[in-house]
């Protein structure tokens, strides 16, 4: 199913976190779109977004344990922390 336009932005804005666990990506375009929608983003160092944690989200290595810990952290955030 392909999400475009308004539906895509609705999904971004209504997500609690956005998680894109990429092993190799030149530019984190999906991550940037989610951040523009005001959603906390969990992504990997492999996206090239090395300063991402300065305000847009959490960086992890693409390993189950690290992704799980980041998701658990974000799910405990209040609306204000998001």
CB atoms within 10 A of CB 18: 20
pLDDT at 66: 94
- Nearest residue to 22 (alpha-carbon basis) of 56, 46, 58: 46
The three-state secondary structure class of 4 is coil
The phi, psi pair for 65, rounded to 5°, reads -65, -40
pLDDT at 6: 85
Of 2-6, 8-12, 20-24, 25-29, give the range with the top mean pLDDT. 8-12
For residue 69, give every residue at least 6 positions away whose Cβ sits within 8 Å of its Cβ, in sequence order, or none: 60
Please give the mean pLDDT across all residues of the chain. Answer: 82
Structure confidence at residue 68 as a pLDDT band (50, 70, 90): very high
Q: Which two tokens stand for residue 23?
A: 């092993």
User: 1-5, 48-52, 63-67: which has the minimum mean pLDDT?
Assistant: 1-5
Instruction: Report H helices in 1-82.
Output: 5-14, 29-36, 64-75
Q: Provide the whole-model pTM.
A: 0.78
């Amino acid at each position: 199913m392909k999400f475009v336009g308004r539906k895509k932005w609705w999904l971004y804005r209504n997500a609690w976190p956005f998680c894109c666990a990429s092993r190799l990506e030149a530019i984190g375009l999906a991550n940037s779109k989610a951040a523009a929608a005001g959603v906390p983003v969990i992504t990997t160092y492999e996206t090239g977004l090395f300063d991402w944690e300065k305000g847009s989200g959490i960086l992890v290595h693409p390993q189950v344990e690290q992704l799980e810990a980041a998701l658990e952290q974000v799910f405990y955030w209040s609306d204000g922390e998001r």
